[in-house]
Amino acid sequence: MKILVCISHVPDTTSKINFTDGDSKFDTNGVQFVINPNDEFGLTRAMWFKEKQGATVTVVNVGGTETEPTLRKALAIGADEAIRINTNPTDGFFVAKQLANVAKDFDLIIAGRESIDYNGGMVPGMLATLIDANFVNNCISLEVEGENATAIREIDGGKETLKTTFPLVIGGQKGLVEESDLKIPNMRGIMMARKKALNVVEPVDASTNTKAVAFEKPAAKGAIKLVPPDNLDELVSLLHNEAKVI
């Protein structure tokens, strides 16, 4: 079984976010980037298939040279090789077109259901359509036996079990593996990652259908007032007259 894991290079959620050029561009200075969490769940599940069923695991990213440390981390976790598609990921359709160009020869393509930067949630479904593959989104469990796969996905009010065949694209999320199952690269894995192939592929022609016009930060949190625990009358007055929640 040949598995392709799509890796997004996203800011760590603890990073301080700023914008430049009149709030029209994201400022990457001082920002720590990581593997998109939904993609990391997928990568960990792929490693399970490698260890238990002898699958080969390739990771792929659409981005410039700045994304290579993220791909190297995926190699250190245990992926066999990496592909970097050498272009800026401008929107979901553009990214899906680039991924489709390299995904056709794989049995199983694992992507996160969405990335934590733009939260578009578009790429896995578009990719499945472009390569004419089966698709399961919001996937929280995946088992493979031969050419057949059994997947469980979250739906409104419950879960749904599906049986399907390859080629298959899934949009994975937490539950595909548990957080406690995520792998941390060890020194041996880091050293071996330096010797594994990281192939750079030039992009295919594809249209960019959307663009970011402006970014806006959430409103700053308002000032707080501390009320002594023995002054309930003041607390009730503030909740009623200022906060207006009672």
pLDDT value at 103 more than 90: yes
Give the model's pLDDT for residue 134: 97
Q: If you average pLDDT over each of 73-87, 185-199, 224-238, which comes out highest? A: 73-87
Give the model's pLDDT for residue 225: 84
Looking at residues 17-41, what average pLDDT do you find?
Answer: 91
CA distance 60 to 6: 5
pLDDT value at 139 more than 90: yes
Residue 155 belongs to domain with CATH number: 3.40.50.620
CB atoms within 10 A of CB 217: 9
Residue 214 in domain: yes
Percentage of residues of the chain with pLDDT beyond 90? 68
Looking at residues 140-145, what average pLDDT do you find?
Answer: 96
Give the model's pLDDT for residue 39: 96
Q: How confident is the model at residue 119 (pLDDT cuts 50, 70, 90)?
A: confident
Q: Is 51 exposed, middle or buried (0-12, 13-18, 19+ CB in 10 A)?
A: exposed
Residue 132 in domain: yes
Percentage of residues of the chain with pLDDT beyond 70? 100
Give how many domains the chain has, as a whole number.
1
Residue 232 in domain: no
- Amino acid identity, residue 43? L
**Cβ proximity of 23 and 90 under 8 Å:** no
Residue 126 in domain: yes
Q: Quote the domain boundaries for residue 61.
A: 2-219
pLDDT value at 144 more than 90: yes
pLDDT value at 202 more than 90: yes
Give the model's pLDDT for residue 96: 96
Mean pLDDT of the chain: 93
Residue 245 in domain: no
Looking at residues 106-129, what average pLDDT do you find?
Answer: 94
pLDDT value at 184 more than 90: no
Looking at residues 189-216, what average pLDDT do you find?
Answer: 90
Q: How confident is the model at residue 174 (pLDDT cuts 50, 70, 90)?
A: very high
Residue 236 in domain: no
**Cβ proximity of 127 and 99 under 8 Å:** yes
Residue 36's nearest CA partner among 79, 2, 82, 71 is 71
Residue 240 in domain: no
Give the model's pLDDT for residue 5: 98
Q: How confident is the model at residue 86 (pLDDT cuts 50, 70, 90)?
A: very high
Residue 37 in domain: yes
Q: How confident is the model at residue 113 (pLDDT cuts 50, 70, 90)?
A: very high
